[in-house]
Amino acid sequence: MIICKNVQALVAYTPGEQPKDPGIIKLNTNENPYPPSPKVAEALQAFDAARLRLYPDPVFLALRQRIAEIHGCAVQQIFIGNGSDEILALCTRAFVENDGSVGYFEPSYSLYPVLADIRGVERRPVALGADFTWRMAADYEASLFLMTNPNAPTSMQHDKAAVAAFCRAFRGAVLIDEAYGDFADAGCMDLALAEGNANTLVMRTLSKSFSLAGLRFGYVIGPADLIGALYKIKDSYNMDMLAQVVGLAALSDLPYMRENVRKIRATRERLGAELRRRGWRVCESQTNFLFASPPDGRAEKVFDALKAAKIYVRYFPGPATGEYLRITVGTEAQADALLRHLV
């Protein structure tokens, strides 16, 4: 057989549906309902297509300088990927030996076990505690721990002291995936920059808070030696020229991103409060989505009814998540439409 055994056996990651019908209210993939900064459109319009003749900067220095300014770190501590998914895959290659393992919480981002399977290494999942709270055995070990924080799909933020203590004690690499970090009250970037934390990386994406899921742009910050390892194994030109131009424009307009985050957080609070008033269990969200369970716990039934009404949300079957829906926070009008259909 030509195809590798682990690829034959692989159950691939299933991304959320991308329906073509523009009439659908799309609350299923945690995209931002607002357009990206006007500076993005300006940069695209000003872009000279003749430049595409040339290869892009392989080490994206201008972007790293901007990110270094934002986070107060050195350019040697920054790596940029074609979406944060690319960075996750690179980490499983750079920090996990063939007989190593990949750890992650359950439930969390469902790509993590697939990445372990692609590498053909052991999965070491850790079940979260009751109500999806932090739970970690003192003797837990893995080569690489992938930690979504705030977590997805639960929307909850892990206790910072627990995360910090874990990073200090853990012998492998820790990647804190802050895909939703801009929607939280505070984050863990300082852990990637702390002198003593030689094993900790923190990752961000432009897909959610910057409204650029279509661009494919994620970045990771951490100790220079770990970051250097990612440069060694990346594709020569993993960030195309347009992504570099557009990414820089977006990162140069933080006030615009923050205003959208403010609106989404306000809608999140209103939607969460109204669902609770109607008897739903709603996790305390620090993200741009809610993880919520209807009063009778029959989430799949609500998922089907919403889908029939052209409102798409996400449902993850299984014992831990099967009573919940993951609902992306959209505009105020989308929240109203959702609430009307949930009557």
Ligand X SMILES: Cc1ncc(COP(=O)(O)O)c(C=O)c1O
Only segment of 46-54, 81-89, 96-104, 193-201 that touches ligand X (CB under 6 A):
81-89
30 makes contact with ligand X (CB under 6 A): yes
Only segment of 17-25, 82-90, 166-174, 298-306 that touches ligand X (CB under 6 A):
82-90
By residue count, the chain amounts to 343
36 makes contact with ligand X (CB under 6 A): no
291 makes contact with ligand X (CB under 6 A): no
CB proximity list for 273: less than 8 A, separation 6 or greater: none
- Contacts of range 280-285, beta carbons closer than 8 Å, 24 or more positions apart: 281/324, 283/131, 283/132, 283/154, 283/155, 283/156, 283/324, 284/155, 284/156, 285/150, 285/155, 285/156, 285/329
Q: What is the per-residue burial (b if ≥16 Cβ within 10 Å, else e) of 144-163?
A: bbbbbbbbbbbbbbbeeeeb
Interface with ligand X in residues 196-255 (CB under 6 A): 205, 207, 213, 218
- Residue 106 burial class via C-beta count within 10 angstroms: exposed 0-12, middle 13-18, buried 19 and up: middle
Interface with ligand X in residues 167-206 (CB under 6 A): 177, 179, 205
85 makes contact with ligand X (CB under 6 A): yes
285 makes contact with ligand X (CB under 6 A): no
Of the pair 265, 314, the CB lying nearest ligand X is at 314
149 makes contact with ligand X (CB under 6 A): no
Report, in Å, the least distance between residue 335 CB and ligand X: 20
**Contact positions vs ligand X (CB under 6 A):** 30, 83-85, 109, 148, 152, 177, 179, 205, 207, 213, 218
